Chains A and B, each alone.
Chain A
Amino acid sequence: MSEKKIRVLIAKPGLDGHDRGAKFVAQTLRDAGMEVIYTGLRQTPSSIVAAAIQEDVDVVGLSILSGAHNTLLPRVVELLEENGAGDILVFGGGVIPEADIPFLKEHGVKEIFTPGTPSDIYVKFIRENVQQHNDQGG
């Protein structure tokens, strides 16, 4: 029996305590048939990366509302690369100004979904990108 499930880590880096968005995303991904590992509030980039590696996820989704996204999100990408896991897809969500999005994308964050994004948009995004990744033999 062979069955591949998409595994996603949903994490909250930094110090804000608002996890409603993260939990909403986690549930919609579950309903889309994915296995979602939720690690809770106030995680450091290094603890997120350790969890992503041990759980062997395909995708890391970072929810952030504190304003520290320009520091924390690129740091997660950087640490994944340092630990030989640069192939793991990283996306972000939360209160992130339009003006910051190009900077984050330049630093390896594949996509940013701001509040109000319908769930089928990011479900489709994850499915397509993971598929592409698997096709490349990753």
Chain B
Amino acid sequence: MTKVDNLLLPDSSLNMRFLARLITKIENNSQFAEELLSEIYQENNEALILGITGPPGAGKSTLIDNIVGKFREQGKKIAVVAIDPSSPFSGGAILGDRIRMSSHFMDPNVFIRSMGSRGYLGGVAPATVNVMNFLTAVGFDVVIIETVGAGQSDIDIMYLVDSVLLVLVPGLGDDIQALKAGIMEIADIFVVNKADKPGKEKLMAEINMLLMLKQEQVDWIPPVLEVVATEGEGIDTLIAEIKRHKEYLTEHSFDVKIKKVERRIRRMIEEKIDERVHGSFKDNDRLNLWIEKAIDGKINPYSLIKDFDKKLTVLWEG
């Protein structure tokens, strides 16, 4: 714990570097991450953990720039983790979310980190949960996770954070888009960004209708907020709603918080299983031979899957 305690000393750039290097190690080496976090992890109920998701170009990074500004006025220490897609071909990535947050580059109390999704679908990266747990453990007051530009089913962010902000913009699709399952269901707060653009009323009406259909089952009704992030309009209301949701989680509905923590822990376990299973079969010679046979048409891929399933059962029970 001693090394990590040092990170909480008054802001020196050396500490910043130490922190940044630890994050790299957490990202590159899950074993290291587990060892470190098994020492310092705490279910920190004080930290505010926000997830920002939405389609590409919705204005997620610009919105974060604004949110960070407001929390800085209140003297909070803030970390932002911005995830962009990694190339499925080269494994490389261009991480460009920082550009929109340049007003905070020189603020020693704002730590911004870009991550590649590294082959992981679902909107976040494999190491996101570990990095997030690390950042709250070392004492950031607010941790903001920005997902990759998300599609309808990139919902993994809900496993990680306390409050999910879904950023939508007018003019992206017809009515039916709003009714689809998936991402529309995970929002704790709807942010209609670029609310000065035509089509805003229609989008607001669609979201509100979707929520009306759901109201009976839930006691948190997600607010639908109008924002123009580039102008900073609507941000005060947004911050107030974020706080209201946090209060809802901690005070009025302990059950919800427990559910979120449970989901997060289950998710961590699933990721471990995924990692181990993938790791042990990725370059398995026998498996590669099977696949080659299936490609040549010598065996049926379904019988291959059946055999494989048997092997997995043996592994799990053995």
With contacts A51-B105, A54-B111, A55-B114 known, is A35 near B92, CB below 8 A? Answer: yes
Q: Quick check: is B275 within 8 A (CB to CB) of the other chain?
A: yes
Q: Quick check: is A72 within 8 A (CB to CB) of the other chain?
A: no
Q: How many of B's residues come within 8 Å of A, CB to CB?
A: 36
Q: How many of A's residues come within 8 Å of B, CB to CB?
A: 32
Stretch at the interface among A36-44, A61-69, A96-104, A106-114: A36-44
Residues from chain A with a CB closer than 8 A to the CB of B20 are 53-56
Q: Quick check: is A3 within 8 A (CB to CB) of the other chain?
A: yes
Digitize A20-41: 1 where CB-to-B-CB distance is under 8 Å, 0 elsewhere: 0000001101111111111110
* Minimum CB–CB distance for A84 against chain B, Å: 5
Task: Determine whether the beta carbon of A30 is less than 8 Å from that of B87.
Answer: yes
With contacts A51-B105, A83-B17, A85-B17 known, is A56 near B23, CB below 8 A? Answer: yes
Q: Quick check: is A46 within 8 A (CB to CB) of the other chain?
A: yes
In the bound complex, CA of A105 to CA of B112 (Å): 30
Residues from chain B with a CB closer than 8 A to the CB of A46 are 106
Residues from chain B with a CB closer than 8 A to the CB of A4 are 28
Task: Determine whether the beta carbon of B16 is less than 8 Å from that of A54.
Answer: yes
Residues from chain A with a CB closer than 8 A to the CB of B181 are none
Digitize B59-92: 1 where CB-to-A-CB distance is under 8 Å, 0 elsewhere: 0000000000000000000000000001101111
Task: Determine whether the beta carbon of B98 is less than 8 Å from that of A39.
Answer: yes
Of chain B, the residue at the smallest CB distance from A31 is B90
Digitize B12-40: 1 where CB-to-A-CB distance is under 8 Å, 0 elsewhere: 01101100110110001111000000000
Q: Contact check: which of B13, B21, B102, B279 meets A39 at CB < 8 Å?
A: B102
Task: Determine whether the beta carbon of B92 is less than 8 Å from that of A38.
Answer: no
Digitize B85-125: 1 where CB-to-A-CB distance is under 8 Å, 0 elsewhere: 01101111111101100100110000111101010000000
In the bound complex, CA of A6 to CA of B90 (Å): 12
Digitize A97-138: 1 where CB-to-B-CB distance is under 8 Å, 0 elsewhere: 000000000000000000000000000000000000000000
Q: Can you list 20 pairs linking A and B with CB atoms under 8 Å apart?
A: A1-B30, A3-B118, A5-B91, A30-B87, A30-B92, A33-B90, A35-B86, A38-B96, A39-B98, A47-B102, A47-B106, A50-B105, A51-B98, A51-B105, A54-B111, A55-B20, A55-B114, A56-B20, A56-B23, A83-B17
5 tightest Cβ-Cβ pairs between the two chains A and B:
A30-B92, A40-B99, A56-B20, A47-B105, A83-B13
